[in-house]
Structures are given as C-alpha cells and as structure tokens.
Amino acid sequence: LLLPFRAEHMTATTVPTLALPGGGVMPAIGYGTWLSKPGEVYAGTKKAIELGYRHIDEAWVYKNEAEVGKAIKEVIAEGTVAARADLWITSKLWQCHHRTELVREGCLDSMTQLGVEYLDLYLMHFPVAFVPGCDEAVSADQMDDVPIEDTWRAMEKLVDEGLVRHIGVSNFEIAELKRVQAVASKPIACNQFETHPYYQRRELFEYCQSHGIAVTAHSSMGGGANAMRKFHKSPPLTDDPVIGEIAAKHGTSPHVVLLAWGLRRPMAIIPKSVTPKRIQANKDEVLALQLDEDDLAKIAGLDKPGLDGCYCHPRTPWLGRSEFTGDTKHYYG
C-alpha cells in the first residue's frame, strides 16, 4: 500500500501532503526546530508560519517548545492563521518518559510548553528507554528496561483520550517496527528517521511505504554542522560535487536540491533555519525545482554503506554504536 502523494503539479504556493493511515493528511514540508539557539526558534517559527509553513516539528528534548508555543499563540492572535486547527504540530516522547505511567506526563508537558490542547502527531523519539529523570544516558545503569510494546500501548491511550490525533515512531528500524505492529491496535502513522543521498535507507523506506507508514526525513541536508560533526565519516553533504553540479544545472543551491530529492521520494521534510531568506527558499524554491531522471540517477549513486553516510548519532552508545564511558566526549563533538 503506497501512500498517496497529493502533488500532481507542485507550485511555490502549494505544499503537498502525505496521507496517513486511519485518515488525515500531513503537510509534506515542515519547519524543523532541532538545534536552534535560545531565542532564535521563536522568531524562526513565527516567520515560517508567516511564509506559509503549516507543519511544525518539535520534541520534548529540544528544550524549546515554550518558544515555539509563544510563536504559535501570536500568529493565531494576529490572524496569520485563523485557528490552531490550521497548523500541524508534531512532538516526540523522550526516553526518560517511556515507562507506561510516565508517557501521559511527557505528552502533557510538551502540550503545556507548546500551549496546545492536542498534538497532531506524537512520536516515540527512539526505541530505547532511559531511567526517569535522565535526559542523556552516559552509563549502562542509566538505561531502562521498558519494552517498546508497552510504551506504544500507553501512547495509544493518548489517542483514546483525545490528547493526540496520530501516533508514530522515530529512528526505528524494520525489526522495531515489526515489534510495534505485532501489538498495535492503532496504526503507526509515521516513522521519522535520518535519510538523505549519502544515507538513503532504501530497505527501511520501502518497508514503510509498503506498510502505509508515512516517512519524515530528518537531517535531509546531512547535518554537517551538528553536535556529532567530529565523528562523521563523510564530508558535508552540501559540498558533494554531484549535488553541486545538479544545483548549478538548475540555478539553485545544494540545500534546495537535497530537500527536493526528499520531497520527490516522496516523504515529508523538516528543514531547520532561522534566516528568513533560507526559510522561504526551503519551501518555495524546493517546490519549484523539478529534478529530472538524470538527476535522480546520479543521486541514487551517492548512497554509502553502513553508517558511513550517517550524520546523526553515528557513535551513540545508547544505540549500541560505541561503549559507555561516563561522558559524551566520544560521540558528541
């Protein structure tokens, strides 16, 4: 079952949508908020909504939901959007809230910070759990043995209660998706994971497509400047000569090419910027760019094996990619 991609004629004014299992559609271009500096995400979110973004991607662990909530409140009060219902707001359950008795608490905390009465999409951020109160596990004893199946069942209750419209996951592999599917009474609406030309994740992407799970790509532009940059095996994706050649051919930037590739796949993209010109380009120029078959063939050849193209958590111990050492120096730059 391939997800409908409603974008027969994409224009700079029409953002395509992805249909979700169980009904509803998600705007395929969202505004990303990860790694924005304090004070910047408020202005960035407000500008993004003014420029036509209607999908905001957040998470409890980003520690900036209150800023985004302030922006949302103001754009509604100012009439930029008529009502909360005109926006699609996603947030994510962090690892310290995986215990069944804490799932609702984690959700409500995000909702309170965002100033909303419901979330359109709530994702389990990673398929691992930390002990309550721990934001970042740096030792094995800070990991918590909570089955993802139990956490998922607790998330389903959020839908029943009307706090959340759709639930999904983030950074899940196929085996973990199957575990959730085996016990789920509500469909996995979305899997958000890192994917871009160096880390195309074809098998995972195709599994999601064939099971009706929408895909949202994070780190679409490679995350070359993120907190893990010291441990990237690949140079910045925006410096790739093939991407540069395609950008020059179309008279655009590598950033736009990378985002347009993701949108074309199809999947949702959530680029982050706090610069008004870039925020606008990440929507309007991406929608205007039509990559041809030659472009797509060249990009298909850029995929790298294993974690060689991974920019996000390539050595994180709580994902089993290195050993715990008691600090973060060996996996965060």
Exposed / middle / buried, residue 145 (Cβ in 10 Å: 0-12, 13-18, 19+):
exposed
Whether 62 is catalytic is yes
Pairing status of strand 129-130 against strand 143-144? antiparallel
Active-site option among 31, 42, 53, 62: 62
Active site residues: 62
